[in-house]
Amino acid sequence: MKRMVNVEISEDLLLELNVPKQQASEELKKLTVLELYREGIFSLGKAAEMVEMSIQDFLSLSADRGIPIHYTKENLEKDLETIKKLFP
């Protein structure tokens, strides 16, 4: 079950963010998820899912904001194991 939270945002803040009122909720959600991804709280897949974007589109959005990919040596090793299983 999804829980919703309402947040009041001043018109001044929306003007500074250059976000139209009708898109404010969606844009602020993206900014929040981007920050949670930057902090390592959300994985790439979870972050993309939260903003209903493909992983590729979320990576592009992250790159536009200067947020690096969280891809560790362990991620690489897991990916290589998966590839070996898929293509023996």
From CA 14, how far away is CA 27, in angstroms rounded?
A: 10
Does some domain include residue 5? no
pLDDT in tens, 75-86: 889 889 989 999
Domain of 62, in residue numbers: 11-86
Does some domain include residue 3? no
Does some domain include residue 6? no
Question: Alpha carbon of 19 to those of 24, 26, 29, 42: distances in Å?
Answer: 6, 10, 12, 24
**Residue in the block written with tokens 């898109």:** 23
Mean pLDDT of 21-31: 88
Q: How many separate domains does the chain show? A: 1
**Amino acid (one-letter) located at 25:** S
- The confidence band for 64, taking pLDDT boundaries of 50, 70 and 90, is very high
pLDDT in tens, 31-54: 999 999 999 999 888 999 999 999
